[in-house]
């Protein structure tokens, strides 16, 4: 089965995305809108991934005034979406990755084209799609395959060379019926036995899709690197040599990177000071909350940036850098440093990289003596 999947993935030249709940974290907003309009949760769940015609007919069958219900739901969602269109985790990563590698892309949504265009415009994602196909143009919506087959036709693609990415049961059914490689990334509902049987792969995030598709890439052995870092720390736990050797090990093991190293937090003013690294000369000081490193420190969270030129306030220490990952390093529960890795390739860092690097940071926190980071400046 694994070999069959790998061979099918090598032939993929087109990726077709569902929109709500897949690219955009909007399905929960729609759910709350339907509930606020008086639709029971059980009935709403049957709406996911279907056409407006189906919803209208189903509301009528259940004794609702569909025009009034839809108007109430629309008013609620419009108010919520006016606050911003939230992207799903990993959306920008996969879109940049696909564009850089020349894949054809489309959105196939039950929403209107006007809605899709608005979402793309407001989120700055329009440049990543070749086509938008709306189910409103078709007599049959999902779970029928019509919308995906239309998207493939408009892109000049063969169904067997298309990947469908969906969050809904009906979307998975439609992708499978279209004869396309079907990926499910669950949103509000976890797949049951039927859906797991129809989906070729079930993933947890869009950020994992590049790892799935990049069948020829030999990934860094993060488990081996973690063991190496632990061994280094056990022989000499002082933070300086451990970080220096960790940066060297990562720089040697990871492909397509141009900088790997650490910045140390300065307790006096909250800024970051350059620490051990491999690569070109770098910024000596980064203010807290500035650039990717300073933002990661301020928010105390891992940041994966597929296109640094789209990151507000990006600090270009090396003009060749296109993507970046930054991970806070903690001592006694507080961030005292960050691990920063840059790449000259857009969307270089995938879910596999994030999980592997998080493992290495945990080993640093468990094995190295990071107390000295508090007194280094």
**What would the pLDDT profile of 27-55 be if each residue is shown by its tens digit?**
889 899 999 999 999 898 888 777 788 89
Instruction: Determine, yes or no, domain membership for 158.
Output: yes
Query: CA-CA distances (angstroms) from residue 174 to 147, 195, 202?
Result: 8, 11, 15
Indicate the pTM of the whole model.
0.72
What is the residue-averaged pLDDT of the chain? 91
Burial of 167 (0-12, 13-18, 19+ CB in 10 A): buried
Verify cis geometry, omega within 30 degrees of 0, for the bond prior to 289.
no
Instruction: Determine, yes or no, domain membership for 60.
Output: no
Confidence of residue 1 (pLDDT cuts 50, 70, 90): very low
Tell me the pLDDT tens digit for each residue of 89-122.
899 999 999 998 999 999 999 889 999 999 999 9
Per-residue pLDDT at 361 exceeds 70 = yes
Confidence of residue 375 (pLDDT cuts 50, 70, 90): low
Say whether both 103 and 137 belong to one domain.
yes
What is the CATH classification number for the domain harbouring 164? Answer: 3.40.50.1000
Total of domains in the chain: 2
Residue ending a domain, choose from 163, 180, 213 = 213
Say whether both 244 and 282 belong to one domain.
yes
Residue ending a domain, choose from 185, 213, 241 = 213
Say whether both 127 and 169 belong to one domain.
yes
Query: CA-CA distances (angstroms) from residue 218 to 40, 229, 335, 350?
Result: 49, 21, 32, 13
Helices 351-367 and 222-235: crossing angle in degrees, nearest 10, is 10
pLDDT on residue 128: 96
Q: Which domain holds residue 181?
A: 2-26+85-213
What is the CATH classification number for the domain harbouring 284? Answer: 3.30.450.40
Say whether both 19 and 137 belong to one domain.
yes
- What mean pLDDT do residues 321-330 have? 94
| CA 180/CA 301 separation, integer angstroms | 36
Confidence of residue 215 (pLDDT cuts 50, 70, 90): low
Say whether both 233 and 356 belong to one domain.
yes
Say whether both 269 and 343 belong to one domain.
yes
């Amino acid at each position: 089965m694994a070999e069959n999947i790998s061979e099918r993935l090598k032939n993929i030249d087109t990726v077709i995305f569902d929109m709500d709940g897949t690219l955009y974290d909007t399905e929960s907003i729609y759910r709350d809108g339907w509930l606020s309009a008086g639709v029971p949760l059980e009935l709403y769940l049957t709406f996911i991934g279907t056409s407006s015609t189906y919803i209208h007919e189903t509301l009528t069958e259940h004794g609702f005034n569909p025009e009034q219900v839809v108007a109430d739901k629309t008013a609620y969602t419009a108010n919520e979406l006016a606050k911003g269109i939230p992207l799903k985790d990993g959306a920008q990563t996969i879109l940049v990755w696909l564009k850089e590698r020349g894949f054809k892309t489309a959105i196939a949504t039950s929403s209107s084209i006007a809605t899709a265009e608005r979402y793309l415009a407001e989120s700055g994602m329009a440049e990543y799609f070749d086509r938008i196909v709306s189910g409103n143009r078709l007599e049959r919506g999902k779970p029928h395959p019509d919308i995906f087959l239309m998207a493939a036709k408009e892109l000049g693609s063969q169904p067997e060379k298309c990947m469908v990415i969906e969050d809904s049961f009906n979307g998975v059914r439609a992708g499978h019926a279209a004869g396309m490689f079907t990926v499910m990334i669950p949103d509000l509902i976890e797949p049951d036995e039927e859906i797991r049987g129809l989906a070729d792969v079930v993933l947890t995030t869009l950020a994992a899709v590049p790892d799935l598709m990049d069948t020829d890439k030999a990934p860094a052995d993060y488990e081996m690197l973690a063991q190496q870092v632990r061994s280094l720390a056990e022989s000499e736990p002082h933070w300086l040599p451990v970080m220096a050797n960790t940066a060297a090990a990562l720089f040697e093991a990871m492909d397509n990177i141009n900088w790997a190293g650490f910045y140390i937090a300065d307790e006096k003013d909250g800024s970051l000071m350059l620490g051990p690294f491999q690569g070109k000369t770098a910024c000596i000081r980064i203010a807290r909350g500035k650039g990717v490193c300073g933002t990661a420190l301020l928010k105390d969270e891992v940041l994966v940036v597929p296109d640094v030129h789209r990151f507000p306030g990006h600090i270009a220490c090396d003009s060749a850098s296109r993507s970046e990952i930054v991970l806070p390093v903690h001592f006694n529960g507080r961030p005292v440093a960050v691990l920063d890795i840059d790449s000259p390739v857009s969307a270089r860092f995938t879910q596999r990289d994030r999980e592997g690097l998080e493992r290495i940071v945990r080993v640093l926190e468990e094995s190295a003596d990071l107390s000295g980071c508090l007194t280094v400046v």
